[in-house]
Amino acid sequence: MPAALVGISHSPLIGKNDPAPDVLAAVDEAVTDARAFIAAFAPDLVVLYAPDHYNGFFYREMPPFCLATEANAVGDFGSAAGPLSVDGEAARTLADGALARGVDLTVSARMTVDHGFVQPLQVLFGGIDQVPVVPIFVNGVAAPFGPVSRIRALGTAIGLAAADLDRRVLFIGSGGLSHDPPVPILAGAPPRVADGLIEGHPPTPEQRARGEERVVQAGRAYAGGSTSMIAINPAWDELVLDTFAGGRLEDVDAWTVEWMGAEGGGSGHETRAWIAAFASLAATGAYSMTSRFYRPIPEWIAGFAVATALPSGQRDEGLTARPGGLPSKP
């Protein structure tokens, strides 16, 4: 099966609290390269792994992961709202394939998604309805978290199931890398906040605007150095990217929940979406990372990365967006 991968961080602060122009230009170039990579590959199906930020999944029941056969975006932080162009038939086939391979996958027949899913679709494809997609939620913010080995197992099972589809499949992982935005935490939350995290009452427009402004202000404080949030951790982020680049995905099975949180921050678990995507690609055979970009961007509260990868055979056939190979690290 022709396959490809893009990993891309997201941040709702993009365009709202931007870094210096040279950093912005470097991100733009990496994203432009990723778009060219996608255009060269010409996928006819996207499997998109992404987290949620208490817009679609709540503690009334919080699965570790969940595949959607239909999905609607809420339009948080000014992102696009409305239905995603979900390929329901492919979604059901992938769900069956993952379940048949022993992964206890939850399925949603109408998933609510937020900027975690929407931003990569807008940035890479120009909209949420431009390409057939199978959205797969991977919990990256709501503790407790299960072992990372189960995320790798999910990605592997989905990758094997996708290989039976006879489609050109692009796997995308959205999120991370290290970052610690002010996403609420259930443990110790005041009763009113806890109730919201459990029940998921839809916020009024005023409540949503207040919550989003709080995140923008947190980004400004973070960039100004006055904050109690865990700092972005470039050394950990490079370790994560090195692991993917080296094809050493089994290593992630030894990554403990505690270690990931301590090194990667409260939302460092969004890196799980990347792990699932790389495991899916690896299930189709050996792969090569074909481009790699990383910058710590406190203005966006993100260790921000963009990476592309192809099965080694496809790369040898010349299907790569970067003929010169892996660009050097910044």
Ligand X SMILES: O=C(O)/C=C/c1cccc(O)c1O
Among 69, 178, 233, 267, binds ligand X (CB under 6 A): 267
Q: Is 179 a catalytic residue?
A: yes
Site for ligand X in 42-61 (CB under 6 A): 53
Query: Exposure pattern of 110-133 as b/e (b: 16+ CB <10 Å)?
Result: ebbbbbbbbbbbbbbbeebbebbb
Stretch that binds ligand X, among 9-17, 131-139, 160-168, 187-195 (CB under 6 A): 9-17
Stretch that binds ligand X, among 5-13, 131-139, 195-203, 309-317 (CB under 6 A): 5-13
Helices (H), the chain: 21-41, 88-100, 115-125, 148-163, 191-199, 205-224, 234-245, 257-264, 271-283, 312-316
Site for ligand X in 176-195 (CB under 6 A): 179, 181, 183
Among 197, 241, 301, 310, binds ligand X (CB under 6 A): 301
Tokens describing residue 279: 């495991």
Select which of 10, 179, 201, 269 is catalytic: 179
Nearer to ligand X, 53 or 295 (CB): 53
Stretch that binds ligand X, among 197-205, 222-230, 294-302, 310-318 (CB under 6 A): 294-302
Number of residues that bind ligand X (CB under 6 A): 15
Least Å from the CB of residue 141 to ligand X: 7
Nearer to ligand X, 53 or 152 (CB): 53
Separation CA 178–CA 141 (nearest Å): 12
Confirm or reject binding of residue 215 to ligand X (CB under 6 A). yes
Stretch that binds ligand X, among 122-130, 158-166, 300-308, 322-330 (CB under 6 A): 300-308
Report whether 69 contacts 109 (CB < 8 A): yes
Confirm or reject binding of residue 10 to ligand X (CB under 6 A). yes
Report whether 138 contacts 51 (CB < 8 A): yes
Residue with tokens 């690896």: 282
Q: Is 115 a catalytic residue?
A: yes
Nearer to ligand X, 159 or 175 (CB): 175
Confirm or reject binding of residue 295 to ligand X (CB under 6 A). no
Nearer to ligand X, 33 or 270 (CB): 270
Confirm or reject binding of residue 284 to ligand X (CB under 6 A). no
Confirm or reject binding of residue 292 to ligand X (CB under 6 A). no
Least Å from the CB of residue 28 to ligand X: 18
293 Cβ contact partners less than 8 Å away, ≥ 6 residues apart: 26, 27, 29, 30, 33, 305, 306, 307, 327, 330
Among 38, 302, 309, 321, binds ligand X (CB under 6 A): 302
Separation CA 1–CA 214 (nearest Å): 45
Least Å from the CB of residue 52 to ligand X: 9
Residue-by-residue DSSP string for 58-119: BTTB--SEEEESSEEEE-GGG--EEE--B-HHHHHHHHHHHHHTT---EEESSEEE-HHHHH
For residue 97, how many other CB atoms are within 10 A of its CB?
Answer: 20
List the x/- string, 11-40, binding to ligand X by CB under 6 A: xxx---------------------------
Burial class of residue 235, CB neighbours in 10 A (0-12, 13-18, 19+): exposed
Of 67, 64, 267, 72, residue with least CA distance to 177: 267
Planar angle of CA 83, 34, 81, nearest 5 degrees: 15
- Residues binding ligand X (CB under 6 A): 10-13, 53, 175, 179, 181, 183, 215, 267, 270, 300-302
Active site residues: 115, 179
